[in-house]
Amino acid sequence: MTSRIKVLSDDLISKIAAGEVVERPASVIKELVENSIDAGATRIKIIVVNGGKTMMQVIDNGSGMTEDESLLALERHATSKISSYADLVGVMSLGFRGEALPSIASVSRFELLSSVKDAETGTKITVAGGSIRSVVPSEAIPGTSVTIKNLFYATPARRKFLKSPPVEYRHILEAVKRFALGRPEIAFEFYNGDKKVFQTKKSDLLERIGETFHRSYIPNLMEVTGSGRTLKLTGYVGDPKLIRKSRGEQYLYLNGRYISDRKMSSAVYKGYGDLVSRGEFPFFVINLLVDPQLVDVNVHPAKMEAKFKNEWDVYEAIKTTVHDTVHIGSDAMIDSFQPMYEQQTADIEESRAHHNSKIIQFMPSRTIPPAAELNNMTSFAETDIVEKDNGFSPAVETYKSAFPELQSEPGQPEGLVWQVHNKYIISQVKSGLSIIDQHVAHERILYEKALNLLEKGGGQSQQLLFPQKIELSPEDYSVLLEILAFMNKIGFEITEFGERTILVQAVPADIKAGTEGKVLAEIIDNFRETSGKEVPAHKALAASFACKAAVKAGEKLTQEEMISLIERLFLTEYPYYCPHGRPVIVNLTIDELDKRFERK
């Protein structure tokens, strides 16, 4: 009987191993840059084309390899990093498994150029789908250059699962940023095609953060230094001005290796305490220096996870150090909140005084006036937006006829709806009480409006008196370029204006002039969080715009504005849920109220 169990071929073994090591183009960049760092490189250049699908190249000035070493490096489990179990237990190099190069070469068209210091010639090796095609002498170069073309061409099933080039590019960008922040002593160059994304010089961590993100980050950083029984930690954490609504600017390192550890990251959040709320994420770059004998980084082939022997000691050290750092200047940090609060209050008051387009749009019978007209408005009474008639505006009369069940009972106050804590709108209905969240109600209205504009165009804009020049981080700039055409359809007028810089000339009428920078940052954050989750790009953008442009909790609305908001809500296709799935309306029946008061 023929055995059903067979020994797999080396080629198939390599392709299976590649599935663990090479998940996407960013995985390739990660493995190649780790090799460059382990080779002692002080300069590393990374080039990607078409999100890494077409070509990736990593060039370094490290120690290089001889011809024999280059060929051995393409064998599975061949490495210069370790030679015994004792080496594995105390490993400090980023790579050590000897799987990366053969795994990458097995699923791509691979070219390696390398030479050692003072050599007269180098070595050039070409590989296709795991098979070595040629080994020839080449000119001597200072270090090693690895070029990858047509990733996953040999495994089409894997290639079709790759995301769009912009999405894959952002994953690569994030991988490069992790190395740049973790190794400030190394100079990095990063190119997307022929366009330079960023270039850093050898520096300290503070300067590197400014180079990688933006120099405006530097004044808002606090240095972290501390220690525990088994570790030391260094780095920087951001003040409240660097708190964002999405993850992405949190970097945790273990002995210079970037790690993904939810428990240790939560220790940082705990250290901030009440300074951050749920759904907010502070900026931090923290490096943990731990005896390698007390950690295990050989948990997964990606080497981004670690196990700590004294896990809770590490957790407490991080939490305590961050807490002490951010609370030493707690008075100053509270002061930094005060201008933000005062500005928000001023914005609301200005909104009430000048009637920006967001409030005016609540009135369905009125088109949005031009920006110049808005500046001349001082109160509803001075415009023809609301005409009083028998104590009610036309909007109220329309509302009464459309929703007769909401009319006041005889002897009750004239008001049809009430606002509670400037957040919820409450109205009596025949069955009890109806409670509406004003923010998510307006969000649903703006979402469906934005979807319509993205399909047909023609969004109304208000021109800015002084166009705003805004410089973005590389990742934010990449996201904006991806959604720029959509943004212009809904009323923005944005053009590229140099490296990582945009010029905002107009904003949608629903957005208050002067807040365009903040709104853009929030839309980008929200889009980054929602895109790629089986949500079409245009719907993700519409949801992001609606969330950030909608009337906020805390804004006081007049009776007419509340009624108009409800009218517009019930003209939408799905009035009961916001684009993110949160309920818009909660009903409390008389029976439920009676039970709460123990009448039944």
Answer yes or no: do 443 and 550 share one domain.
Answer: yes
Of the listed ranges 178-187, 214-223, 356-365, 525-534, the one predicted with least confidence:
356-365
Residue 225: per-residue pLDDT: 92
Residue 157: per-residue pLDDT: 79
The CA-based diameter of the chain, rounded to the nearest angstrom, is 101
Q: Which of 283, 576, 247 is nearest to 444 (CA)?
A: 576
Residue 52: per-residue pLDDT: 94
Answer yes or no: do 122 and 236 share one domain.
Answer: no
Counting DSSP H helices and E strands in the chain, the numbers are 20, 22
Q: Is residue 4 part of a domain?
A: no
Q: Is residue 451 part of a domain?
A: yes
Does residue 303 carry a pLDDT above 70? no
The total of other beta-carbon atoms located within 10 Å of residue 382's CB is 10
Q: Is residue 3 part of a domain?
A: no
Q: Which of 169, 198, 20, 207 is nearest to 106 (CA)?
A: 20
Number of domains in the chain: 3
Q: Are 401 and 563 in contact (CB under 8 A)?
A: no
29: domain range? 10-206
Residue 19: per-residue pLDDT: 59
Answer yes or no: do 416 and 561 share one domain.
Answer: yes
Does residue 408 carry a pLDDT above 50? no
Answer yes or no: do 260 and 201 share one domain.
Answer: no
Answer yes or no: do 230 and 196 share one domain.
Answer: no
Q: Is residue 352 part of a domain?
A: no
In the chain the first and final C-alpha atoms are separated, in Å, by 77
Q: Are 369 and 358 in contact (CB under 8 A)?
A: no
Residue 296: per-residue pLDDT: 82
Q: Which of 161, 176, 206 is the last residue of a domain?
A: 206
Does residue 208 carry a pLDDT above 60? yes
Give me the helices (H) in 411-473, please: 438-456
CATH code of the domain containing 534 = 3.30.1540.20
Tell me: the pLDDT tens digits for 356-387? Answer: 333 333 333 333 333 333 333 333 333 332 33
Tell me: the pLDDT tens digits for 536-574? Answer: 778 888 888 888 888 888 899 988 889 889 989 989 998
Answer yes or no: do 534 and 444 share one domain.
Answer: yes
- The pTM for the full model equals 0.71
Rg from Cα positions in the chain? 29
Answer yes or no: do 166 and 27 share one domain.
Answer: yes
Provide, rounded to the nearest whole percent, the portion of the chain with pLDDT above 70.
79
Answer yes or no: do 491 and 432 share one domain.
Answer: yes
Answer yes or no: do 189 and 219 share one domain.
Answer: no
Q: Which of 305, 328, 351 is the last residue of a domain?
A: 328
Cβ burial of 443 (10 Å; 0-12, 13-18, 19+) is buried
Does residue 4 carry a pLDDT above 80? no
Tell me: the pLDDT tens digits for 8-66? Answer: 777 676 666 665 678 899 999 999 999 999 999 999 999 999 999 999 999 999 999 99
Provide CB contacts within 8 A for 219, sequence distance 6+.
none
Answer yes or no: do 193 and 106 share one domain.
Answer: yes
Answer yes or no: do 253 and 181 share one domain.
Answer: no
Query: What is the DSSP-derived secondary structure letter of residue 362?
Result: T
- Torsion of the alpha carbons at 261, 267, 270 and 276, rounded to the nearest 10: -40
- Torsion of the alpha carbons at 74, 76, 78 and 82, rounded to the nearest 10: 140
Q: Which of 13, 6, 8, 37 is nearest to 107 (CA)?
A: 13
| Concatenated DSSP letters of 86-134 | HHHHT--SS--SS-HHHHHHTTSEEEEEEE-TT-SEEEEEEEETTEEEE
Of the listed ranges 185-189, 378-382, 455-459, the one predicted with least confidence:
378-382
Token reading at 586: 């909660």
Answer yes or no: do 573 and 468 share one domain.
Answer: yes
The residue-averaged pLDDT of 334-362 equals 41
The total of other beta-carbon atoms located within 10 Å of residue 7's CB is 6
Q: Which of 311, 328, 345 is the last residue of a domain?
A: 328
CATH code of the domain containing 242 = 3.30.230.10
Q: Is residue 150 part of a domain?
A: yes
